[in-house]
Chain A
């Protein structure tokens, strides 16, 4: 297959595999979802380009959440490595993608002004990391496994343990925010946010698998989480202007 021209357009987003905007069981969506249909755009240069990031913009500990906010010791909690590949729908790696992650600590408490949960803060844990994928689309970071936490939706709703992700690929249309969950977490079955995803298959795509082969002896367990962005198709016929 021919490699895509750099400005070739991206495949249409399959809206049936994403949550709709209005999902009443996730209450906040009710007043924050547009009532009118989005207008579909044929892609131009504005949609197929995206910001480019350079390795030297990142600090050496940006992808090490165990150490990057440590003050006088190590954070408390389960030490894990999370790693995987970012590729597109056609299986091509997405190199130099910006992957940003944020999460609660082992208690389920965020280091954020607005988080009032009784779960304890950890003075040695910040909860943010970021990295660029390599030439093969591979990324890896180290962290403390986050705890579940309660939230005000129904009165006794709890989020499964999760890590938030934001990914910036090679085109603006690939911009994506999502959440990664952990294999075997029983809260996955009842989470109102996760249940807005329309198919079980898509939900499975958000669950990181325990990766025993990547465990670090006497140090850390590991999870594998791959991310699929929209694919860029080859331009097989040129777009001549029909005057």
Chain B
């Protein structure tokens, strides 16, 4: 799925971890994190994909017919990232999504859908990334609120910190670590 990462070139255009171009609308953000196994080892062979709405809260898909939300032709809303072979860090450069209306008109806070696959993971794991600076919205979110163990909800909240430097490295960073098993285990969804 990521031939360049494997060490060779084959396709002219590769799918990657940068979801934006210079014309994409919305606040630029960077997502960074690592994936840990049941004894806290950082995994270095994980592939992660994300699927998200644009800055207006609209998905680039024909089934999205939410009224009053504009399409952004410069944003597909999907990306793929591999953890680094040395550090285990994965990254995405994207934009912060707007609010998407949930099932039966219920409120959903801004979020990104995350899919995790790797050696030893028999069926891809689904989770969601929420944002630490959206505490008020998160408290009303229809999905977070079905997790009856309140302490587990925090595993889905990425922590914001200001970026350092210029250009792509100067944008706010959201750190989202994923714990597959054990203490602080990330909430996974059967969707």
CA distance A69 to B9 in the complex (A): 8
B22 within 8 A of A: no
A20-B61 in contact (CB<8A): no
CA distance A50 to B113 in the complex (A): 10
B181-A239 in contact (CB<8A): no
Nearest A residue (CB) for B38: A31
* Chain A neighbourhood of B101, CB < 8 A: 44-45
* Chain A neighbourhood of B108, CB < 8 A: 44, 46
* Chain B neighbourhood of A126, CB < 8 A: 3, 8, 10
B8-A33 in contact (CB<8A): no
CA distance A32 to B182 in the complex (A): 10
A47-B65 in contact (CB<8A): no
A49-B61 in contact (CB<8A): yes
- Select A20's contact among B106, B122, B191, beta carbons within 8 Å: B122
B62-A6 in contact (CB<8A): yes
A59-B11 in contact (CB<8A): yes
* Chain B neighbourhood of A196, CB < 8 A: 122
Supposing A45-B63, A50-B51 touch, asked if A32 and B187 sit within 8 A by C-beta, the answer is no
A85 within 8 A of B: no
CA distance A133 to B116 in the complex (A): 24
A212 within 8 A of B: no
- In this complex, how many residues of chain A approach chain B with their Cβ under 8 Å: the count is 61
A2 within 8 A of B: no
* Chain B neighbourhood of A41, CB < 8 A: 143, 146, 189-191
Residues in A123-138 with C-beta less than 8 Å from chain B: 126, 128, 130
B164 within 8 A of A: no
* Chain A neighbourhood of B59, CB < 8 A: 45-46, 49
A51-B60 in contact (CB<8A): yes
B56 within 8 A of A: no
CA distance A172 to B127 in the complex (A): 12
CA distance A203 to B64 in the complex (A): 36
B1-A166 in contact (CB<8A): yes
Supposing A52-B60, A59-B11 touch, asked if A38 and B189 sit within 8 A by C-beta, the answer is yes
CA distance A52 to B160 in the complex (A): 29
* Chain A neighbourhood of B10, CB < 8 A: 68-69, 126, 128
Residues in A63-102 with C-beta less than 8 Å from chain B: 68-69, 100, 102
Name the residue among A7, A43, A58, A59 with the largest chain B CB count within 10 angstroms.
Answer: A7
A38-B118 in contact (CB<8A): no
Mask: chain A, 196-231; 1 = CB below 8 Å from B; 0 = not: 100000000000000000000000000000000000
* Chain B neighbourhood of A113, CB < 8 A: 6-7, 85
> Which 6 residue pairs across A and B have the least CB separation, nearest first?
A28-B120, A51-B78, A32-B120, A6-B63, A49-B61, A19-B122
Residues of A with Cβ closer than 8 Å to B? 6-7, 13, 15, 18-21, 23, 26, 28-36, 38-52, 57-59, 62, 68-69, 100, 102, 110-114, 126, 128, 130, 166, 170-173, 175-177, 196, 239, 241
Given contacts A7-B63, A44-B100, A45-B64, 15 further A-B contacts (CB under 8 A): A26-B122, A28-B120, A32-B118, A32-B121, A36-B187, A40-B190, A44-B103, A46-B51, A46-B100, A48-B63, A111-B8, A112-B6, A166-B1, A173-B191, A239-B103
